Amino acid sequence: MTARENALRTIRFDHPEYVMEGIPSYGLVYTGCNHEGYEGGGHDCPVGSRWTDIWGTGWQKEQADVMGFPRQFPLADMSAL
């Protein structure tokens, strides 16, 4: 039995060979999605740090163990669109 067949049997409650722990998923990762490579940016930076990501959004880290919050928006003025 293939993994697909087993998954379909699980969904149908039709006696699968095994039950999956989770739904198969695929992630999309691109350069800058986790603020890597930015001087002073990301979840490892100290509280109070500010940085701008590849989209032009300005971020500020205000709490320990939290990524940061957007504080400057590249399209705050619609004429910039």
Tens digit of pLDDT for each residue in 1-29? 898 999 899 989 999 999 888 776 777 77
Per-residue model confidence as pLDDT tens digits over 23-74:
767 777 766 666 655 555 666 788 888 888 877 888 888 888 887 888 988 8
User: Contact at 8 Å (CB) between 47 and 63?
Assistant: yes
Q: How many CB atoms lie within 10 A of CB 76?
A: 7
User: What's the Cα-to-Cα distance from 23 to each of 7, 14, 15, 32, 49, rounded to whole Å?
Assistant: 9, 17, 18, 27, 37
User: Contact at 8 Å (CB) between 64 and 52?
Assistant: no
Residue 9's domain comprises 1-27
Regarding whether 7 and 36 lie in a shared domain, the answer is no
Tell me whether residue 79 is in a domain. no
Task: Outline where DSSP puts E strands in the chain.
Answer: 50-52, 58-60, 69-72
Regarding whether 40 and 9 lie in a shared domain, the answer is no
- What is the count of structural domains for the chain? 2
